[in-house]
Amino acid sequence: MTGTKGAMTSARLAESMLELIQLHGYSGTGLNTVVEHSGAPKGSLYFHYPQGKEALGEKAVELAAEQFGSLVADSALDAAPPGEVVRRVIDTLAGMLTDSDFRLGCPVSVVTLEMGAQSERLRDACANAFESWIGPVTEYLVAHGRPRTDARAKATAVVSMVEGALIVSRAQRSIEPLRCAAQALAVLLDEGDEGDEGTEASA
């Protein structure tokens, strides 16, 4: 029971850190605010994260990676073509952005931009997060008949374009950049869909 309670407290702290990073950035998020936001007992933060803010930030980035990975997986449950899967993902992200009045961005890009040059630990966490999205998208495209090298390049473009579109959408307070990204990516991913079936999927 103690272990379960401790795991719940640790997760609550990470979830609060993630939400606050989205709202205020990494640098603008203080540990006292995280504890207050999470409702966790005082002193619990350093018990669960003895290495302090960087450790908690790393966990928040990992949590963000898991959440986005689940979104992609859920969007690809049926046999929809890759372009349609990307549209679904972007539609969900656009909804989250408008629901938050354009306040919530991708915490992984936020931490990368703020701390990538200052903390190797956080830079690595962000790099791992991006790779955790690029890798499965690559495998999904391979499963749809794309040669592996091409699939990897397109998966990298997908993640890069979606991340960039999120930033531009927040700046412009409009989901139009996300819509444009969805349209461009659908063309990129579905191009030659018929003809590519059966190509060197495991090359």
pLDDT(96) > 80: yes
CATH of residue 157's domain is: 1.10.357.10
Q: Is residue 62 part of a domain?
A: yes
Q: Is residue 48 part of a domain?
A: no
- Check residues 95 and 7 and name the one with the higher pLDDT: 95
Residue 46 lies in a domain: no
The pLDDT tens digits of the residues spanning 108-156 come to: 999 999 999 999 999 999 999 999 999 999 999 999 999 999 999 999 9
Q: Render pLDDT for 1-33 as a digit per residue (tens, 0 to 9).
A: 345 888 899 999 999 999 999 999 999 999 999
69 belongs to a structural domain: yes
Query: How much is the pLDDT for 193?
Result: 57
**Residue 12 covered by a domain:** no
Provide the domain limits for residue 68: 57-196
* Whole-number pLDDT of residue 42: 80
* Conformation bin of residue 43: beta by default, left when phi > 0, alpha when psi is -120 to 50: left
Would you state the pLDDT for residue 200? 40
How does the average pLDDT of the chain come out, rounded? Answer: 90
Instruction: Write down the H helix ranges in the chain.
Output: 2-24, 31-38, 44-48, 53-75, 82-99, 107-115, 120-143, 148-172, 176-190, 193-196
pLDDT per residue as tens digits for the range 182-193: 999 999 998 755
DSSP 82-127: HHHHHHHHHHHHHHHHHHTTT----HHHHHHHHHTTT-HHHHHHHH
Kindly state the percentage of the chain with pLDDT values over 90.
81
Does residue 112 belong to any structural domain of this protein?
Answer: yes
Q: What residues contact 120, with CB distance under 8 A and at least 6 apart?
A: none
Confidence category of residue 80, pLDDT binned at 50, 70, 90: confident
- Exposed, middle or buried, 198 (CB in 10 Å: 0-12/13-18/19+)? exposed
How many Cα atoms occupy the beta-carbon half-sphere of 159 within 13 Å? 24
Is residue 24 in a domain?
Answer: no
Counting the structural domains of the chain, the total is 1
37 located within any domain: no
Angle at alpha carbon of residue 76, lines to 146 and 102, rounded to 5°: 110
Confidence check: pLDDT of 102 > 50 = yes
